[in-house]
Structure 1
Amino acid sequence: MTTPRDTPAPRRVRANGDGTVYQRKDSRWEAAGYVLAPGNTRKRIRVYGTTRKDALAKLTEKIAASNRGLPAPSAQGSLAAYLTYWLENVAVHHLRETTHTRYTACIDRYLIPGLGKKKLAKLSAKDVRTWLNQLRTTCQCCARGIDARRDQLRCCAAGQCCRKQLSPLTLAYVHSVLKSALEHAVREEEIPRNVARTVRTGAPRPRRFEPLTADEARQLLTTTQGHRLHALFELALHTGLRKGELLGLRWEDLDLDAGTAAIRRTLQRTSTGGLTTLPTKTRASERRIAVPARCLQSLKRHHEEQQRDRDAAGAEWQHNGYVFTTPQGRAIDPTNLTRTFTTLLRKAGLRRTRFHDLRHSTATLLLEQGVELVVIKELLGHAHIGVTATVYAHVRLRLQRQAIDTLGTVLDVPGNDESTRDNGDDPPLRGATVR
C-alpha cells in the first residue's frame, strides 16, 4: 500500500502553445515558445530569467504580443548599423538633399555616439530618455572636443567649462530624426514598436522673428533704388516668396502680360551638386501667384538691364534662363544674396534682420490691411491654413483688439472716457513667435 509521501507530485502541464519552461544547468531558467515572425511565419524564441516566474513572465509577454499581431523583432544588429542603412538606402530617396545632409550630421554627431552601441531590438524608452537627458545637460565643448580644436582654449581644455548646451529646438530635432528612423524599422517589421515616440521632450520655445514695419519696408525699397537687384527685393516684399524661390525663378515662369508668376522650383546650394534647382518645399509651395503692377514694371526694366549685361559680357555670358543672375549670367548663390541684403540694411540705417523676415513682413503688412487669411495662405504657399494662423496669431490678436476698441467707441456712453483708454495689453508686433 502506497502512502501519500510515496505518490509523485502531479506534473504541471502547460496548454498547447504556451511554450515550455525548464531550469538550465547554470541554474538559470529558460522559457521557449513559438511567436509570430515577419512574413506571416512563426519562429521559436527563447528567453531567460533568474527564476521560473521571471522566465515565464517574459515568454508570456512575447506570446501575448504575438497574439495581437505584432511580429517578433528580427533586428540583431546595433542601432548605429541600422541608422547607417536607413540613411544610405531609405532616407536618401525620400528627403531633399539639404535635409538628408542635416540628418546625416545629426546622426553622426549625436545619435551614434550616444546610442549607437545599443542593439536595435533591445532599445527601450528608458534608454532614449536617459540619452536625451544626458544630451540636454552636457556641455558640447566637452562632449565633442570643440574646445580642443580651437586656437585659443577657453572652455573645458582650459579648465573653464562654458556650459554650452543644446537648445531645446536642436534637442527636439535630434529626437525627431530618431523617431523617423525607428518608424521605418517598425514598417519593415524589424522592431515591434517605436520606443522613441513614447518619450516626450516638451514643446521647445519657438523662434522669434521681427518683421519690418511699413516705414522700414519703404526705407529699404528706397535704398535699393538703382541697385541691380532692386526688382528682387521689391518682389520679395510684395509677394513673400522664399529666397530659394526668388533665385530659382526663370523668365519662362513669368507672364508679364497676365501679371502672374509660376513658382515651380527653388535654388539651393548642396554639398554634392553645388548650386542646384530642387522642387519646392512642399506641394502647396508649387503655385501660381499674382504679381503687382509695380513689380511688373521693375521686372521689365530688370530684363532690359540684363540684356545690357549680356551684351557687355559677350562670350562669357552663361545663359540659364534665371530672372536674377550675376553680371555674367550665373545663378546667384543664396549666401551672396544674404551678404548683399545685410549691406543694404546697413546702408538704409535699419536694424539687422534675416532675409526670410521679408516674407514675414509681407504677411504681417497684408494682415494689417485686412486681407483674408486664406489669401495670405495661398500667396505664401503654406500647406495648411493652420500654419498661417499659428505663425501670425500675434497680428490677428492685435487686429482683434483694434476691432473691439472700434466697437467700444461706437457703443461708448457719452461722457465715459475710461472705456477708450489704452490698457497697454496690446501684444507687440515685434518679437513674434514662429512655430
Structure 2
Amino acid sequence: MTTPRDTLASRRVRANGDGTVYQRKDRRWEAAGYVLASGNTRKRIRVYGTTRKEALSKLTEKIAASNRGLPAPSAQGGLATYLTYWLQNVAVHQLRENTHTRYTAVTRLYLIPGLGKKKLAKLTAKDVRTWLNELRTTCQCCTRGIDVGRDEPRCCDIGKCCSKRLSPLTLAYVHSVLKSALEHAVREEEIPRNVARNVRTGTSRPRRFEPLTAGEAREFLAATSDHRLNALFELALRTGLRKGELLGLRWEDLDLASGTASIRRTLQRTNSGGLTALPTKTQSSERRIAVPTPCLRSLEQHRARQRQERDAAGERWQNSGYVFTRHFTALLCQAGLRRIRFHDLRHSTATLLLEQGVELVVIKELLGHAHIGVTATVYAHVRLRLQRDAIDLLGNTLRNPAETTDKPDDRDEPPLWAEPVR
C-alpha cells in the first residue's frame, strides 16, 4: 500500500542529472537516469527495487561509476565487449591475481572465439550448449592453429589430426568462468537470467593422482632425513599442508613448546609481485593444527641450521622470517621413487589417514577443506577400496568353518600407524 510519504517522495523534483524515481503499477520501484556508455556516449538506464530506497541506491551506484569514467556495459553489445568490461572492472577486484590470469586466458582462448560475436541480451542456453559441444569434440591444435608455430609440422599440418581435445575438468572450468561473468550481468540487471546455468556439462571425475604407498612414504622420509629442507618434506607428508601454506609459515606461527602450528597465509608466485604472501585459500584454510613429534625435532634442527647460516652470511643475510625456502624431484630420484607432484604429498597424507580408519571429518579439518563434501569427493576411490576390504572381512566371517585354512593371506600387511602428536 502506497503511503502519503512515498507518494510525495516519488513526486518531488530531483536535481538535474540525479535521475527519476517512481513506483510502478506492479508495486515495484523504478529509477532511471543517464550514464556513460561505450563510444563516449550517454544512455538512459533503468533499475528496479522493492522499495524506493533500494532502487535509488542502485541508480546512485551506477551514476557514481559513470562519473569515474567507467562506461556501463550494454546488453545490446556483443558478449566479447561485456567479458572485457567484466574482467577489467569487476573480476580484477574480486579474484586473486593468479585466478584472474587464468580467467583472462580462458576468455581469450575459448569464450571470445566461440561466443564473442553473440549479443549479450540474445544469448540463449542453446547457444551455450552448442558451443560447449563443439569444444568437447574439436581438436584444439587444429582450432587454435598451434601447429603454425612449431618447428616441425604435426597434427593437421601433415593431415593427421592428433585429436587433442579438452579434458572434462577443463571444459567444466571454462563453463564456470562463463557462468560467473553472466551472473554479474544478472546482478547489474543487464540480462534477466543466467542462461549458462541452464546448461549441464555433467559431473567431471576428480583428477587422478598417485599418492605414495606406506612403504614409499617411509622410503621418502629416509631419503630426506639428511637434507637441508628435511623439516619441509616431513611436515608436508605428516600434516598434508598445501605447498603455499608450508612456504608461508613464519617462525611466529609455530609454537614448538605446545606442538602446534597456526596456518595464517600462503606464499604464491605472481606475475606482478613475484613471491607474495596472500590470505589462505578459504576461511576454513586458516586453522591451527597439531604438529607431530618428529616434525618438532626436525623444526628445531632446521632453526638451529638457519641460525648458523645467518651467522656465516653476516651482513649478506636477508631475513624474511619464513621457515622454508624450497629440491623435490631430485630427492625422488635419489630415493628410487616414481615422479610425483609436490601436491601429491598432501594426497598421500589423506590417503594413509583414511587407510588407518581416521574419521573423514578429522581429515577435513586437518587439510583445511571448506566442506566435507570436497574431502569425500576427492578421496572417493580410497573409500571404495576400504569398503571392498570391509566386504572381504565380512566374507571371511561368514565363510563355512570347513572351508577355512591356516594358510596366511599374503595380501595382509601391517598398518602404518600414525605418529603421536602433542
Whether these two folds match at TM > 0.5 is yes
Which residue identity does 1:383 align to in structure 2? A
- Cα drift, residue 131 of structure 1: 1.5
Gapped regions of structure 2 (runs ≥ 5): 1-23, 34-72, 412-422
Pick the aligned partner of 2:374 from 369, 374, 387: 387
- Cα drift, residue 399 of structure 1: 2.8
Which residue identity does 2:302 align to in structure 1? H
> 2: CA distance between counterparts of 1:159 and 1:232?
49
Compare CA radii of gyration and give the structure with the larger one: 1
Q: Secondary structure at the match of 2:362?
A: helix
Which residue identity does 2:96 align to in structure 1? R
Partner of 2:153: 153
Pick the aligned partner of 2:387 from 381, 400, 420: 400
Partner of 1:105: 105
Q: Is the 8 A contact 2:265 2:286 kept in 1?
A: yes
Q: Secondary structure at the match of 1:268?
A: strand
Q: 1:407 to 1:309 in 2, by over 3 A?
A: same
> 1: CA distance between counterparts of 2:85 and 2:114?
18
Partner of 1:241: 241
Tell me the percent identity. Answer: 76
Q: What does 1:33-432 correspond to in 2, within 5 Å?
A: 40=30, 75-325=75-325, 337=326, 340-410=327-397, 412-417=399-404
Q: Is the 8 A contact 1:74 1:191 kept in 2?
A: no
> 1: CA distance between counterparts of 2:148 and 2:25?
51
Q: Secondary structure at the match of 1:148?
A: helix
Between 400-409 and 223-232, the greater mean CA deviation after superposition: 400-409
Q: 1:39 to 1:148 in 2, by over 3 A?
A: farther
> 2: CA distance between counterparts of 1:207 and 1:374?
22
> 2: CA distance between counterparts of 1:375 and 1:145?
48
Q: Is the 8 A contact 2:147 2:153 kept in 1?
A: yes
> 2: CA distance between counterparts of 1:133 and 1:370?
42
Q: Is the 8 A contact 2:206 2:378 kept in 1?
A: no
Q: Using structure 1 for the length normalisation, give the TM-score.
A: 0.75
> 1: CA distance between counterparts of 2:386 and 2:115?
49
Q: How much is the aligned-residue C-alpha RMSD, in angstroms?
A: 2.5
Q: Secondary structure at the match of 2:402?
A: coil
> 1: CA distance between counterparts of 2:254 and 2:347?
23
Q: 1:421 to 1:247 in 2, by over 3 A?
A: same
- Cα drift, residue 203 of structure 1: 2.3
> 1: CA distance between counterparts of 2:32 and 2:92?
33
Q: Secondary structure at the match of 2:403?
A: coil
Q: Is the 8 A contact 1:78 1:116 kept in 2?
A: yes
What is the count of residue pairs matched by the alignment?
346
Q: Secondary structure at the match of 2:104?
A: helix
Q: Using structure 2 for the length normalisation, give the TM-score.
A: 0.77
> 2: CA distance between counterparts of 1:127 and 1:395?
39
Gapped regions of structure 1 (runs ≥ 5): 1-33, 44-72, 326-336, 425-435
Consecutive aligned runs of 4 or more in structure 1 exceeding 4 Å deviation = 407-413
> 2: CA distance between counterparts of 1:76 and 1:279?
39
> 1: CA distance between counterparts of 2:361 and 2:167?
33
Which residue identity does 2:270 align to in structure 1? T
